[in-house]
Amino acid sequence: MKGLDLNRLRDYLGTGELSGTMFAGGRSNLTYAVTDGTERWVLRRPPLGHVLPTAHDMTREHTVLSALSAAGFPVPRPVRLCEDPDVIGAPFYLMEHVDGTIYRDADVLDDLGPEAVRGLSLALVDTLAELHSLDPKAIGLADFGRPEGFNERQVRRWKKQLDASRSREVPGIEELHARLAADIPAGGPGTVVHGDFRLDNVLIGEARQVNAVLDWEMSTLGDPLSDVALMLVYANRPLLGGRTPLSVPGHPSAAELAGHYARRSGRDVSDLHWYVAFAAFKLAVILEGVHYRFVQGQTVGAGFDTVGAMVPVLVAEGHSSLGDD
């Protein structure tokens, strides 16, 4: 299996024969289901090539999962961290397998019915507000990031990430960065932020509850409104079948989601338009990095050939959120 040698993993774990499959949907770190026939785990490892500095850090993911799991927040419990790249070719960690459904298809979401879709969507916001209510120091994550000056550093960082992943010119993306950099909100007190919070990064249980939040590779301490904004940008991105979550009957509007978060968290969301524009820029840069790896032949799985076309759309949405000139 590309990216994971099950025989070497078996020898490292001291188990019987292992079988595994790679999860679909990932565009960055690679994720596999692994079992010895009795126990079930999920393994995460970095992508096969073009790893940007500070990205794809298995130790950081393991650290945040350990802290949040101990605090009772819905994440998979980590089982083993291996920082030795010689075992399978890269550092990795194992976590428990959590049951649940990931909704990546708008038609499947539609089949739930409007009432269930609304409840699920609001539960997603509630979970985000719960994450942002946690005291980083109290759960052992006081040194997990630097919330002071977070927004300013993010604007600089994602410009550097863009510059490191260039394979083509993207009209308007430099102008969007300049507009964002010209008026950066100071932000409020820092919290644990997920960094990629969206519907298809959560496992949903049979009662439409959030069983686990997945994919913590972008997590840090920072401005909680960055998570809210990215969730809203993702809600307007097409799922499988070409429809967005916002288009599914029963799904709250972006304004309703923002209002629900404001009520649950007690936070001021009056600057959210800037955060939404930045979230569009950030996602555009992430997808441009994925496109870079695709043109370099360093991706695994299907669907990467369409990623590049999403970038200009996000750039336009960022300009729109700031108010088109």
> Is residue 238 domain-resident?
no
Q: Please state the domain count of the chain.
A: 1
> Is residue 29 domain-resident?
yes
> Is residue 71 domain-resident?
yes
> Is residue 121 domain-resident?
no
> Is residue 69 domain-resident?
yes
Q: Return all residues near 190 (Cβ < 8 A) that are at least 6 apart.
A: 136, 145, 147, 148, 150, 221, 222, 223, 224
pLDDT digits (tens, 9 = 90+) for 179-209: 999 999 988 889 999 999 999 999 999 998 9
Q: Which domain holds residue 56?
A: 6-96
pLDDT digits (tens, 9 = 90+) for 215-232: 998 899 999 999 999 999
Per-residue pLDDT of the chain (325 residues; tens, 9 = 90+): 888 999 999 999 999 999 999 987 555 689 999 999 999 999 999 887 645 444 568 999 999 999 999 999 999 999 999 999 999 999 999 999 999 999 999 999 999 999 999 999 999 999 999 999 999 999 999 999 999 999 999 999 999 999 988 888 899 999 999 999 999 998 888 999 999 999 999 999 999 899 999 999 889 999 999 999 999 999 999 988 889 999 999 999 999 999 999 999 999 999 999 999 999 999 999 889 888 787 777 766 667 778 888 999 999 999 999 997 6
CATH code of residue 59: 3.30.200.20
> Is residue 211 domain-resident?
no
pLDDT digits (tens, 9 = 90+) for 288-298: 988 878 777 77
Question: What pLDDT shows up at residue 181?
Answer: 97
